[in-house]
Structure 1
Amino acid sequence: MPSLDPFFLQDLVAAAFLFFITRYFIRSLLRTTSRTLPPGPKGWPIVGALPLLGSMPHVTLAKLAKQYGPVMYLKMGTCNMVVASTPDAARAFLKTLDLNFSNRPPNAGATHLAYNSQDMVFAEYGSRWKLLRKLSNLHMLGGKALENWSQIRAVELGHMIRAMHESSQKGVAVVVPEMLTYAMANMIGQVILSRRVFVTKGSESNEFKDMVVELMTSAGIFNIGDFIPSIAWMDLQGIEGEMKKLHKRWDVLLTKMMEEHAKTAHERRGKPDFLDIIMANRDNSDGEKLSLVNVKALLLNLFTAGTDTSSSVIEWALAEMMKNPKILKKAHEEMDKVVGRSRRLEESDIPKLPYLQAICKETFRKHPSTPLNLPRVSTQACQINGYYIPKNTRLSVNIWAIGRDADVWDNPLDFNPERFLSGKNAKIDPRGNDFELIPFGAGRRICAGTRMGIVLVEYILGTLVHSFDWMVPPGTGELNMEEAFGLALQKAVPLSACLSPRLAPTAYVS
């Protein structure tokens, strides 16, 4: 066998080496090009961008987005997070890539408050979540179900209007969020349990309000343990310990409600309420079975999200109108023309009140009840706007920033309902299809109570505005419009108001 030329061997080795090196660099270059992460702040070692967020994360993230762009990447501890801050970016994630971002990341709130994700809000996207959602829509949150309990809304709102009228006759200022939570909890209680949750306003209802606010606040905090799981056991911020204590209080309340409900089953024969229907349909055709814990966790969702989110929007709307008396006057003029002053406003009046609807939309825009959507997480790696999004990346849509985007809204810091009455914004709707206004989110994981939230805000706000003149209590000075961050965006200082009745006396007793 002839020997190989040593120079040929040398050239062969050199060529092979050059081939592999070249291929390696080309692949690396292609990988780098195709896997470019979105821009974002570098953050700190180990903890990443967590220390940058401060006490008002939605505001901080909005400012950072102006620097880094509409799709922004942050390293949060050992986790990846991407933030969408414009309508187009939100549409890309919540519509184009909706299925890939249909799950929730694990977090302390889901574990310690929501019965280890056994509820509807934090449940894994799958058959159990679909069953919870289907039953809730059919029997409480959907269009037909909402029509069925419209009379309950009217009766409970009547109780609140009478209580407010009595306060106005005594010259006593009302604390708006307390009144709203009391009324709305009773509305939901009537639908779910066939009874008012609170018979009289007092310490029990105030404790309920405090528990709702505490849950929404603690669940909205960026918990270090969620982003650095290896040190979660240390509970550095003390959040998880407080969540566990709060969960016990909620569990006692919900267990008591369910036990009392079971004892009165004979009284509801032929007239089942929501809990009766849920208990009777705990199995579905796919073999999914709801446990008692699932039912309890669902009730927790409905009582907390159903009261706090809508009440915060109504409170902000009233505060904005008290700061802008011309808007309040224009709303009164529209209502006096359509409804008159001899009776209370009814839900059937709302389609004839475009200015009221515009006020609601403007409040959803400027003061969305959920400033940052509940987090989602990518099931698979994906691409967006030319950027690479790794698998298991958390998604946060800054709904608050979208509502204040100067490229979308003229003078976004102004409260101006007229923007929704004509021109390009006239047909914008808050139900999740117009990404300029998504107070309830969008896509598969849009808030299940979207329809109910809109109905409650329009009807309750309209009734309060129609029934009373709203004034700042004497000696209060300028209204405080500061925010308190949480899952729901609260007013830092609860709204108090002095009321002056506008309707015929008979309208407050019916």
Structure 2
Amino acid sequence: MKVKRMLQQALRVSVRNAFPLVKWMERWSEGAAAVSPPGCSRQAVRTLDDMPGPTVSSFVWDLFAKKGLTRLHELQVDGLHRYGPMWKASFGPILTVHVADPALIEQVLRQEGQHPMRSNISSWKDYRKLRGYHCGLLTSEGKEWQAVRSLLGKHMLRPKAVEVYDKTLNSVVTDLITKLRLRRNSQGLVTDVASEFYRFGLEGISSVLFDSRIGCLDAVVPKETERFIQSINTMFVMTLLTMVMPSWMHQLFPKPWNTFCQCWDYMFDFAKGHIDQRLAEEAQKVARGEKVEGRYLTYFLSQTGMPMKTVYSNVTELLLAGVDTISSTLSWSLYELSRHPEVQAAVREEVLTVLGGRRVPEAADVACMPLLKNTVKEVLRLYPVIPANARVVPDKDIQVGGYLIPKNTLITLCQFATSRDPAVFSNPNDFYPYRWFNKDRSHHPYASIPFGVGKRSCIGRRIAELELYLALSRILIEFNVKPDPEGVSVKPKTRTLLVPENAISLQFIEQ
């Protein structure tokens, strides 16, 4: 009866959204019947032996020959079409269960336990063991992870705590606007905007972590900063290679592993240098009897009593956490807005109305800009920075979609597939921010979760969102953004994270 009532309610929503809801409810009812509570009529619980999926040879063919590592997000969509909402795939000794249905993703996340585990980024941990470094928030697990997460959550997840950084971030946005003006050619074209937005993202998170600038947006970027940027890019490329290569292959083919380690070496040294410099400045103030009220995150961490090795690791990992989110999301946002001028005009009008004559928004203004926020939300649905998340439940077997999944099984949550599924979103490949205004919520809440959900959700979400909102609103106040006259459509690719496959170039015309 419950399913029937929910289907009846679905028919009352708008025509634009009714079809995906009905299709999703069909899937939901099938899954619910498979995992109904004890005492109710239920199907027999199936094992992994019963789960569909490609053979080892066909999976390797799809992975390397047919699609390639840069098309991993497309393999999710293929898997959903071929095998349904759950399938298994083996690569070497690693068996992975793929889940590509919002309701089933919710089932996984609600059973993840007190200390949720993501997939083991083995090469990242191997590097830290090799060098004797501690793990940071992205690589630690269990109680160690929980302790750091609780400390950082006080300063990074509470909206009021994040609002104090708006002046700092607006200063970085001002430099970005200046840099865009300098980069334009005679037609107002800026080539490869993602490279500038990458530097903007790094400068923004650095200002929050260190309360100092590292020169990413200077006319001439300092050599050490430029090398740090290149190290991050190369490290992410090498991550895919080093994770699919067994450790014994590092001796036979040492170049990928050696390059990977060299990148991390420089990244740790870079972060450590800035941390030590800022803490030394604070110590000098204390020695002079001056009152110290640091508002930057490294200061908060240093005051907790945690070992400095742990501080170094966490700050280094936090430097990476938000940069691609900012660069990719800002690039895709302006890419889509340039191709949908009516939406761009509406967002600009909303921003100007809220500001009422001011030119620089504050954090509090964003709450009154729903179309701006929904534009970012829609971009993150189409281009989730993390196209697939993962979980490992270490202490118990769990049931998902009628299957018994043994503990310690790697489960991949196929977020790109769910956010592009026509059974979940109508016209899923269309950029349509207004879909998020539908109060009937015709899609499942776990259909698009670009920042994750629960304890393992992105720790830097609030800061990244604030930086995006401030940058987008300021850019739209200053410029009318148009597509590259000679440009072609740009598709995403997987580079551990989801990034533009080709350079995005845009015209920035003065308002």
TM-score, with length taken from structure 2: 0.80
- After superposition, residues 341-360 of structure 1 pair within 5 angstroms as 343-360=359-376
Distance 2:198 2:369 in 1: 25
Contact 1:367 1:489 in 2 (8 A): yes
Alignment of 1:461-472 (within 5 A): 461-472=472-483
Which stretches in structure 2 are left out of the alignment for 5+ residues?
Answer: 1-42
Counterparts of 1:340 and 1:479, CA distance in 2:
37
Contact in 1 for aligned 2:242/2:257 (Cα 8 Å): no
Q: 1:218 to 1:495 in 2, by over 3 A?
A: same
Q: CA deviation at 1:106?
A: 5.3
Aligned with residue 302 of structure 2, among 279, 284, 292: 279
Gapped regions of structure 1 (runs ≥ 5): 1-29, 283-289, 503-510
Tell me the CA shift for residue 459 of structure 1: 2.4
1:211 counterpart residue number: 231
Q: Distance in 2 between matches of 1:70 and 1:302?
A: 33
More moved, 456-465 vs 409-418: 456-465
Q: Is the 8 A contact 1:100 1:378 kept in 2?
A: no
Verify: 1:119 aligned to 2:136, yes or no: yes
Q: Equivalences for 1:195-344 in 2 at 5 Å?
A: 195-198=212-215, 200-204=218-222, 205-220=225-240, 223-225=243-245, 228=246, 231-234=248-251, 238-265=255-282, 266-267=284-285, 269-272=291-294, 273-282=296-305, 290-339=306-355, 343-344=359-360
Distance 1:478 1:46, change over 3 A: closer
CA distance in 1, matches of 2:281, 2:303: 15
8 Å CA contact retained: 1:48, 1:74: no
Q: Find the counterpart in structure 2 of residue 89 from structure 1.
A: 104
1:69-89 C-alpha deviation (Å, 9 max, x unpaired) = 212111221112111111112
Q: Classify 1:125/1:500 alpha carbon distance in 2 versus 1 (closer, same or farther; 3 Å).
A: same
- Deviation of the 1:173 alpha carbon: 3.4
- Is the contact made by 2:95 and 2:410 (CA closer than 8 Å) also made in structure 1? yes
Of the three residues 72, 75, 84, the one matched with 1:57 is 72
**One-letter amino acid matched to 1:443:** G
Provide the residue aligned with 2:38 in structure 1.
none
Q: Is the 8 A contact 2:483 2:505 kept in 1?
A: yes
Q: Pick closer, same or farther for the CA change 1:97–1:192 going to 2, 3 Å.
A: closer
- Among 124, 146, 157, the alignment partner of 2:162 is 146
Equivalent in the alignment of 2:454: 443
CA distance in 1, matches of 2:254, 2:84: 31
1:498 aligns with 2:507: yes
Once the two structures are superposed, residues 400-454 of structure 1 have per-residue CA deviations (whole angstroms, 9 ceiling, x without a partner) of 111101111000011111111225338x8xxxx9202200122321111122222
Q: For 1:484, what is the secondary structure of its paired residue?
A: strand
Question: Is this contact kept in 1: 2:80–2:100, CA < 8 A?
Answer: yes
State the alpha-carbon separation in 1 of the partners of residues 403 and 435 from structure 2.
Answer: 34
What residue identity is the alignment partner of 2:457?
A: I
Report SS of the residue matched to 1:485: strand
Instruction: Give the direction of change, closer, same or farther, for the CA distance of 1:100–1:151 in structure 2 (3 Å limit).
Output: closer
Question: Could you tell me how far apart the structure 1 residues matched to 2:134 and 2:400 are?
Answer: 29
The AA in structure 2 aligned to 1:54 is G
> What SS class does the counterpart of residue 472 from structure 2 fall into?
helix
CA contact (8 A) 1:472 1:479 kept: no
1:389–1:37 CA distance, 2 compared to 1 (3 A): farther
> Deviations along 1:18-63, whole A, 9 cap, x unmatched?
xxxxxxxxxxxx9995564422112229979865762211211221
Equivalent residue letter for 1:72: W
Please say if residues 152 and 190 of structure 1, whose CA atoms lie closer than 8 Å, have aligned partners that are also in contact. Answer: yes
**Alpha-carbon deviation of 1:328?**
1.6
Residue in structure 1 matched with residue 149 of structure 2 by the alignment: 133
Q: Structure 1, residues 354-409: CA drift from partner, whole Å, max 9, x if none?
A: 22122111101001111111554544333222212223211211111111011110
Alpha-carbon distance between aligned partners in 1 of 2:84 and 2:381, rounded to the nearest angstrom: 21
Counterparts of 2:103 and 2:255, CA distance in 1: 38
Quick one: distance in 2 between partners of 1:315 and 1:46? 32
Counterpart of 1:158 in structure 2 is 174
CA distance in 1, matches of 2:113, 2:476: 38
Alignment of 1:67-86 (within 5 A): 67-86=82-101
1:478 aligns with 2:487: yes
> How much has 1:322 moved relative to structure 2?
1.4
8 Å contact kept, 2:397–2:406: yes
CA 1:280–1:33: 2 relative to 1, 3 Å: closer
Name the CA distance, whole Å, in 2 between partners of 1:113 and 1:473.
Answer: 43
Letter in 2 for 1:411: N
Q: Which of 194, 197, 203 is the aligned partner of 1:186? A: 203
Mark the CA change 1:103 to 1:484 in structure 2 (over 3 Å): closer, same or farther. closer
Q: What is the deviation of 1:241?
A: 2.6
Whole-Å separation in 1 of the counterparts to 2:329 and 2:220 = 23
> Which one scores higher on RCO, CA 8 angstroms, separation ≥ 6?
2
| Distance in 2 separating the partners of 1:100 and 1:277 | 23
CA distance in 2, matches of 1:154, 1:119: 28
| TM-score, normalisation: structure 1 | 0.80
Q: Return the letter of the residue paired with 2:220.
A: G
Partners in 2 of 1:68 and 1:222 — Cα distance? 29
Counterpart contact for 1:104–1:122, Cα < 8 Å: no
Indicate the residue corresponding to 1:41 in structure 2.
54
Q: 1:454 aligns with which of 459, 465, 469?
A: 465
Deviations, residues 91-138 of structure 1 (Å, cap 9, x unaligned):
011123455853542511332279767111121122x21221122222
Query: 8 Å contact 2:271–2:312 — kept in the other structure?
Result: yes
Report how many aligned residue pairs link the two structures: 455
Q: Which amino acid in 2 is paired with 1:351?
A: A
Is 1:369 the counterpart of 2:385? The answer is yes
Contact 2:116 2:393 (C-alpha < 8 Å) held by counterparts: yes
Task: Assess if the C-alpha contact under 8 Å between 1:98 and 1:444 holds in 2.
Answer: no
The residue matched to 2:389 in structure 1 has which SS?
coil
- Counterpart amino acid of residue 326 in structure 2: S
Q: Check conservation: 1:49, 1:76, Cα contact below 8 A.
A: no
Residue by residue over 1:158-179, the C-alpha shift from the partner in whole angstroms, topping out at 9 and shown as x without a partner, is 2222333455597653342233
Cα shift readout 1:448-484 (whole Å, capped 9, x = no counterpart): 112222222222222222321112345xx23441223
Q: Taking structure 1 as reference, are residues 45 and 362 closer, same or farther at Cα in structure 2, changes over 3 Å only?
A: closer
SS at match of 2:98: strand
Q: Distance in 2 between matches of 1:33 and 1:169?
A: 61
Q: In the TM superposition, what is the alpha-carbon distance from 1:315 to its structure 2 partner?
A: 0.8
The aligned amino acid for 2:154 is: L
